[in-house]
Structure 1
Amino acid sequence: MAALVIGIATIIVIVLRTRLDAFVALLVAALVTGFVAGAPVTDVLESITNGFGTTLGSIGIVIGLGVGLGKILEVSGGADALARAFVRALGRGREPWAMGTTGAVVSIPVFCDSGFVIMNPLARSIARVKRAGYVTLALSLGCGMTLTHHLVPPTPGPLGVAGILEADLGALVLAGLVFAVVLLPVVIGYARWIGPKLEKDLDPEVREAVYGSVTAGTAGTGGAATGGAEAGTAAAGEGRDPAYDPAAALGEPPAGAKPHRIRAGLASLPLLVPLLLIVANTVVTAVDKNAQGDLAGEDYTPSAVAGVLAFVGSPVVALLIGIVLAVYVLLPRWTTRSQVGGWLSEAAASAGLIILITGAGGALGQVLRDTGVGDELAEAISSWSLPGVLVPFLIASLVRVAQGSGTVAMITAASVTAPLVAGLGISPLLAALACCAGSMVFSYFNDSYFWVVTRFTGLDGVAALRGWSGITTAVWLGSLPLLLIASTLL
């Protein structure tokens, strides 16, 4: 128990009090945990390398492909097209729902930070026409992204959790989507309640940027404000900041080529096809096992259809299909190989640290298994009156508050929980959901996404805490009864 406490404390101290990052913190914590538990040095090092390699062997490729897919959606303008389609579909008066839903969909393949930057001009355009409601729209957008970023693969954090806990990825996609859909009204309700109260606290420069160009009498009419037809289309849900071009990275088309435009249906293909393949694999395999009377899968031989889906529905192949679709369907013909290579290189660079953190989390989990720390913790927790599902949930929550990163929090919780799943009497899927949900709590100063949302929204100090920290805590609280209900079903 002392080894576990000191190990987690090591992560917190290194991340908060030194210039080292979470990757180093997790590796040092694995070493410290092994040493305090009394394991030989060679055994600790072997556990670290085995845990690191095993985890990345199952999930590292998928993280890299998922981030690459998100980058192509971003530079092609596909993510922006999806956003505008959702706004049009939901109509006037439902703009917060449109922004929250948009955020939730876009954030499945795109990191929250870049996704919010991409979509925030749309929120500003809508607020400029309405002459009100920017804070509500920005919070709805930002927290909609938080839901799927924390709950739905192929976002890297949930992918890492699934790999560490050996949870079925397709089942986690389905369960995470259900959680996100049920929690979205919490996002919209809180944003609508707190947004109007915080409008007076907007930074003057942001207020001028959002509302300063609107002339009297144009709000909600679809008429032109300063900037002409751009504001009129915003009223219909199509507006965007005139200084913002989501596909600027593509460059100017060659002479004679048509301007590059992406329709929402086309933009959704690279996202929907992999998700549908992964989910179809899970469903068909379960049905096939049931038909054979071999639910445990001990002597399972897949049927022809199940075998094909097991291949194309594996996360690696499904995301390979998605990224090929993105490159050849979303990008214009004049895009060069060097451009695509550059974007994928940028994506790989951004994914690199996430992959390393995921592997280090797996290393810590392996040390906990091999040293018996996990078994000891399971015995201690089993003597408490806590439902088993609350253990990973609370671990993720404490780590999130301590060091800020939701990804690190859920991966750390998964690493600690992995040896305990059987003793806690919960399924790997339920444990994964608990890790992911617990990591949403109270985003504040030590979370990089806190600064992205509050700076772009123009909130500071107490207003930022009431708005952004409050809404992330609201969805965290909302997930708790969902987990308790899920614990009776999964």
Structure 2
Amino acid sequence: MDLQLLAALVLGVATIVVVVLRTRLDAFVALLVAALLTGLVAGSPVTDVLESITDGFGSTMGAIGIVIGLGVGLGKILEVSGAADALARAFVRLLGQGREPWAMAGTGGLVSIPVFCDSGYVIMNPLARSIARRKGTGYVTLALALGCGMTLTHHLVPPTPGPLGVAGILGANLGGLILAGLAFAVVLFPVVVLYARWIGPRLESQVLPVVRAEVYGPASAQSAVPATTHAGGTGGTDVPARDEGTGPTSELGRPPEGAKPHRMPAGLAILPLLVPLLLIVANTVATAVDRSAQGVLSGDDYDPSPVPAVLAFVGDPVVALLIGLVLAVYVLVPRWVTRGQVSGWLAQAAASAGMIILITGAGGAFGKVLRDTGVGDALGAAIASWSVPGVLVPFLIATLVRLAQGSGTVAMITAASVTVPLVGGLGISPLAAALACCAGSMVFSYFNDSYFWVVTRFTGLDGVAALRGWSGITTAVWLGSLPLVLLAGAVL
């Protein structure tokens, strides 16, 4: 590989890591700076580099920006309406006594598809505490299963913003990514539960006294091991306490006198999430079957039959998620809630989605620079000479970026940006590359990951116990995903 192009690539990726870790700037700025430096070091004229950045940003946003905004809005309504909590309790009742870790992992996986991990974990954690309090033990097992169940779908299943961004950058079929991501998650759920059941009892005695008292009662804190502080110097006493009775009700407000109490059946709670997912998947399947019946390959001109044409409209991600959001607002939110409250929640969702959208667009800009400067072609030619399965390239890139800077979303988007010019040369499909980017970004969540602190503080684990529990379980699912990624590279 040409040394100038290699230097451009290395400098670009290193810039992302250094800016995120060592400056006050965020990943959006880091990706743009990396795109500029990569283009200039590769020898492209300044005007060409700027044109590549704007073209890459615009095309990526055109493909995925609206979808991310709608998905985050849907997640916010599920969160504040109590739908997420209703789904969790339904899982526990369905699976029954003795299978609580499975219920927690399944609940986490379902809730985290539309809801950000951090807020989803805060909402669901009181249920894990309630179950542990009734059993008198097992809180660490339940808390880890819940948190890592959320990690699986957060990293693998659209409309979570990270996988949506990866699909947009790589041009992967969204319905296919939903199906394949769900399949990955289902296969990996046993890894989550088995690891949580293995490590949980070994860490139960190391739960910080303040959390032990909140979960099991004040008397139990006397048997706790004295707390140590983590590398950042923060102990466990600042864990946000959540009472069993708080949560969505405080967001909805109290019903007016004479109004019925707000109760959320699980079947109703899942409707706004299930309908758009089914529409997107139905579009993908119907189009594939119709193409096959007509003998039309994916790259050829295609005139859809009437039913696939209708499904292509309602199953388009923008239309499907718009339907889901309308259902959420009018089915889940009680009538006494004012228009202003709903608008406020959607405004909060838009604010949280904004940075994800910008990061995704900047990732698309970085990828376009890599393509236009020839860095991608040179890297692809170099990798083609290695005796490494092509699908491992995006997997390993995502893994290294995740270890370096902590954010799974940034890791998978960076991996997708670097991989997009390589897909043809690696001999893998965009869908397989997308799965590899997403799976590789799950590795070893630790101190530079904000979700690490959410899970470990609520769980009451600190220091080495936090690494053994949370960092260990995320690495276990990362390892478990490796054969699945290789299989995807071979068959997709």
Taking structure 1 as the reference length, the TM-score comes to 0.94
Partner of 2:297: 295
Partner of 2:26: 21
AA at the equivalent of 2:310: V
Deviation of the 1:41 alpha carbon: 0.2
Residues 393-420 of structure 1 deviation map (CA, whole Å, 9 limit, x = unaligned): 0000000000000000000000000000
Aligned mates of 1:5, 1:196 — CA distance in 2: 44
Partner of 1:219: none
Deviation of the 1:241 alpha carbon: 4.4
Deviation of the 1:243 alpha carbon: 4.0
Partner of 1:412: 414
Alignment of 1:191-202 (within 5 A): 191-202=196-207
Partner of 1:50: 55
Partner of 2:269: 267
Q: What SS is found at the alignment partner of 2:390?
A: coil
- 214 and 137 in structure 1: CA distance in 2 versus 1, 3 angstrom threshold: farther
Structure 2 gaps of 5+ residues are: 1-5, 221-241
Task: Report whether the alignment pairs 1:161 with 2:163.
Answer: no
Partner of 1:454: 456
Alignment of 1:85-484 (within 5 A): 85-212=90-217, 241-484=243-486
The Cα RMSD (Å) is 1.0
Aligned mates of 1:488, 1:214 — CA distance in 2: 56
CA contact (8 A) 2:71 2:160 kept: yes
Deviation of the 1:210 alpha carbon: 0.2
Deviation of the 1:299 alpha carbon: 2.0
Alignment of 1:22-37 (within 5 A): 22-37=27-42
CA contact (8 A) 1:131 1:214 kept: no
Following TM superposition, where does structure 1 have runs of at least 4 consecutive aligned residues deviating by more than 4 angstroms? none
Aligned mates of 1:6, 1:488 — CA distance in 2: 32
Residues 6-42 of structure 1 deviation map (CA, whole Å, 9 limit, x = unaligned): 1000101111111111000000000000000000000
AA at the equivalent of 2:134: V
Q: What SS is found at the alignment partner of 1:442?
A: coil
Aligned mates of 2:173, 2:247 — CA distance in 1: 39
Q: What SS is found at the alignment partner of 1:443?
A: coil
**Is the deviation greater in 315-324 or in 288-297?**
288-297
CA contact (8 A) 1:128 1:213 kept: no
Residues 360-388 of structure 1 deviation map (CA, whole Å, 9 limit, x = unaligned): 00000000000000000001111111100
AA at the equivalent of 1:331: V
Aligned mates of 1:489, 1:10 — CA distance in 2: 35
CA contact (8 A) 1:289 1:297 kept: no
Q: What SS is found at the alignment partner of 1:487?
A: helix
Deviation of the 1:297 alpha carbon: 4.5
Aligned mates of 1:70, 1:82 — CA distance in 2: 13
Aligned mates of 2:418, 2:195 — CA distance in 1: 32
Aligned mates of 2:44, 2:465 — CA distance in 1: 49
AA at the equivalent of 1:419: P
Partner of 1:4: 9
Task: Report whether the alignment pairs 1:64 with 2:57.
Answer: no
Residues 95-146 of structure 1 deviation map (CA, whole Å, 9 limit, x = unaligned): 0000000000000000000000000000000000001000000000000000
AA at the equivalent of 1:270: P
Aligned mates of 1:7, 1:381 — CA distance in 2: 18
Deviation of the 1:213 alpha carbon: 6.4
Aligned mates of 2:122, 2:316 — CA distance in 1: 31
Q: What SS is found at the alignment partner of 1:247?
A: helix
**Is the deviation greater in 152-161 or in 296-305?**
296-305
Deviation of the 1:487 alpha carbon: 1.9
Aligned mates of 2:244, 2:8 — CA distance in 1: 56
Deviation of the 1:298 alpha carbon: 1.1
Aligned mates of 1:214, 1:13 — CA distance in 2: 47
Deviation of the 1:485 alpha carbon: 1.6
Aligned mates of 2:19, 2:375 — CA distance in 1: 21
Deviation of the 1:335 alpha carbon: 1.3
Residues 347-367 of structure 1 deviation map (CA, whole Å, 9 limit, x = unaligned): 000111000000000000000
Taking structure 2 as the reference length, the TM-score comes to 0.94
Aligned mates of 1:128, 1:214 — CA distance in 2: 13
Size of the aligned set, in residue pairs, is 466
Aligned mates of 2:490, 2:399 — CA distance in 1: 22
Aligned mates of 1:81, 1:300 — CA distance in 2: 43
CA contact (8 A) 1:286 1:295 kept: no
Aligned mates of 1:213, 1:105 — CA distance in 2: 33
Q: What SS is found at the alignment partner of 1:296?
A: coil
CA contact (8 A) 2:213 2:219 kept: no
Structure 1 gaps of 5+ residues are: 216-239
Aligned mates of 1:122, 1:286 — CA distance in 2: 41
Aligned mates of 2:385, 2:301 — CA distance in 1: 37
Partner of 2:85: 80
Q: What SS is found at the alignment partner of 2:300?
A: coil
Q: What SS is found at the alignment partner of 1:260?
A: coil
Query: Which of 41, 47, 60 is the aligned partner of 2:46?
Result: 41
Residues 259-283 of structure 1 deviation map (CA, whole Å, 9 limit, x = unaligned): 1111000000000000000000000
AA at the equivalent of 1:271: L
Residues 69-107 of structure 1 deviation map (CA, whole Å, 9 limit, x = unaligned): 000001100000000000000000000000000000000
Deviation of the 1:346 alpha carbon: 0.3
AA at the equivalent of 2:171: E
Deviation of the 1:2 alpha carbon: 1.0
Deviation of the 1:470 alpha carbon: 0.3
Aligned mates of 1:137, 1:160 — CA distance in 2: 31
CA contact (8 A) 2:105 2:189 kept: yes
CA contact (8 A) 1:140 1:188 kept: yes
